[in-house]
Structure 1
Amino acid sequence: MEFNFLALIAAAVSALVVGFFWYNPKVFGNAWMKAAEMTEEKVKGGNMGKIFALALFFAFLLAFQLQFLTNHQTGAFSLIGGDPSTALPSYQAFMDDYGNAFRTFKHGALHGVLAGIFIALPIIGTNALFERKSAKYIFINSGYWIVTLGIMGAIICGWR
């Protein structure tokens, strides 16, 4: 099993694209700023080059790990220790039979959304509770990650 680095890069970039729309003032941007206690001065005071570069790097890390949640074939790949040349013939037979099973955009989107609900939401929610943020803050940020991980999962799983 080979990693599709173009799909991983595209998935990482998609996180920034979704964020561009999601946090736009005409969508959830103004509500997010209020819920996050952000001001125009805080927004303008940040190093946007650094912020976007790190956001892209973090999105790539998410995309890299998300492939293990969306592509079930990585489980078989991990069982052979990552080197197909040393695998028993049964591995190749399995991959011949099931190498593209459930490798669709739809299936990847499902697993991405599930990751958003069962991983991102609890993490964001827990942090927000201790930071004394509102439910609106939790739902705006978690909603972004649920949608984003769904799109990222679709790209990673469906792009062969």
Structure 2
Amino acid sequence: MVTRAEAWAIAATVTDPEVPVLTIEDLGVLRDVTVDGERVTVTLTPTYSGCPALETMRDDVVLALTHAGYERVEVRTTLSPAWTTDWMTDAGKRKLTAYGIAPPTGRAAAGPIRVRVSVRCPRCGSLDTVEVSRFGSTSCKALFECRACLEPFDHFKVL
């Protein structure tokens, strides 16, 4: 008999194809796993509605579960509630820093937009950084440069 915990644990090993040090669980994209008899249904919420990585994540979840012996796997996508960086795990944020991407700080705005004071460089720790481009290697990241060590780095936006 398939258990929810076993199926969740397998789905949670799937990595984000754009930031391979993060699992979909770290990212908060893995929202639910249900088991009904032999059918496993996994629900994912993309980081944004046009996320090009979603198709790969879906295929990787199906592959991971079928490889583990689960024959009837369905992956659903839900856009509501919308994904937020608040769903990222603390472990995921630490992995981002170690990978050279500044993790989101604070909480997503539920009202007025907060003004960002600074973003800490994941390489040297300096707060003397500047946003070079609002969009970095993907739409959910911004490109920054550290004025102390002169290294560019991605910053995961608070969404």
TM-score by length of 1: 0.28
- Which structure shows the higher strand fraction? 2
| Superposition TM-score, scaled by structure 2 size | 0.28
Higher relative contact order (CA 8 A, sep 6+): 1
